[in-house]
Amino acid sequence: MSLQVFKFGGTSVGSSEAIRLAVGHVAEAAPDVAVVVSAMSGVTDLLLSAAAAAKRGDAKGVRDAARQFRARHADVVRELAFSRRRLGDLRKEILRSTRELESVCESVRVLRELTARTEDAIVARGERLSAFLFVTFLAERRIRAAYVDATEIVFTERRLGSLWPSFQRCEAAAKKLVRPLLDRRIVPIVPGFIGTGPDGEVVTLGRGGSDFSATLLARSIGARGVTLWKGVDGLVTADPRSVPDARVLAELTTARRSSTRAR
C-alpha cells in the first residue's frame, strides 16, 4: 500500500468551492489516503471570541459568535447541495454543536471563569464539525470515508512541563481504529489540532497544530508521505501576509539529503 496523509488547512476547507477542490484531491488518491482537516478559516478565532465574551459576562457577544458559527457552516452546507437526508443530518449536527457551544459559554459566563480545559473544549468543535462536513460530502460523491475523532488516536503526556505526543499510545490506537478502515478501502477523516490530554481531557495542539496532527498520524500508520494543502502555492520563506515578497521554496533538503515538496 502506497499510503499518504493529506492535511487541508482552514482556507482549503473554508468555502464550498474549496471543499469541492479538496474532495477532488482525496478522490484521486483514495483509498490509499488518510485525511486531516482544520476548522474553516476564521472559525477558531470566532470560537475564541465566544469564550472571551463569556468570561467577561457578555451574553450578547456569545450569542453573536454562536449565530455566526452556525451561519458560517449552514451557508457552506447549503451551497454544496447535499441530498435531503444528508442535508438534514448536517443541519442537526450544526445545531447540536452550536447549542453545546452556547451551553458551555453560559456556564463560563455565570462563573466568570475560563480554564484552559474549557477553552480547548470550546475550540475543538471547529475541527470536529469541519471533519463531519467533509466526510459527509465525500459520501455524497460516493467515496467511502469514515469520521475518526482525533481524541481517540492522538494522545499526549506531560514531559518537562509541556505536553508531548505519547507515540506508543498513538500507534496502538491507529492500529486499532485507522488501519482497519484503510484495509477495507475506507478513507479515514480526522479533525486536526486536537487530542486527548494526560487526564483524558480534550487538548489543543497550538496554532498550526493540524500540521502536527497530520505528521503524527502519518507516523502512526506508516504513511510514505504527508501533503499539507494550504492557501499558498507552496512552502514559502515567510508568511506572505506579512512579507509581500516572500518566495516559494522549490525543494527542502533534510539532513539525510532526501527532499520533500510542499503544495
Contacts of 140 (CB under 8 A, 6+ apart): 80, 82, 83, 86
* pLDDT tens-digit readout, 170-180: 999 999 999 99
User: What's the confidence (pLDDT) of residue 258?
Assistant: 41
Domain membership of residue 51 as a residue range: 4-231
CATH code at 216? 3.40.1160.10
How would residue 238 be classed by pLDDT, with cut points 50, 70 and 90? confident
d(CA 111, CA 36): 35
- Residue 90 exposed, middle or buried by CB count within 10 Å (0-12, 13-18, 19+): buried
**Residue 55 grid coordinates:** 468570561
Residues 131 and 239 grouped into a single domain? no
Residues 146 and 241 grouped into a single domain? no
Average pLDDT over residues 34-51: 97
Residues 103 and 121 grouped into a single domain? yes
**What is the model's pTM?**
0.88
Residues 216 and 236 grouped into a single domain? no
Residues 37 and 149 grouped into a single domain? yes
Residues 31 and 160 grouped into a single domain? yes
Residue 235 has a CB neighbour count (10 Å cut-off) of 17
Residues 246 and 216 grouped into a single domain? no
Indicate the angle between helix axes 116-140 and 59-80, nearest 10 degrees: 20
d(CA 138, CA 75): 18
**Residue 80 grid coordinates:** 454544496
Is pLDDT at 244 greater than 80 in this prediction? Answer: no
User: What's the confidence (pLDDT) of residue 257?
Assistant: 44
Domain count, the chain: 2
Residues 172 and 259 grouped into a single domain? no
Residues 181 and 248 grouped into a single domain? no
How would residue 234 be classed by pLDDT, with cut points 50, 70 and 90? low
Residues 147 and 236 grouped into a single domain? no
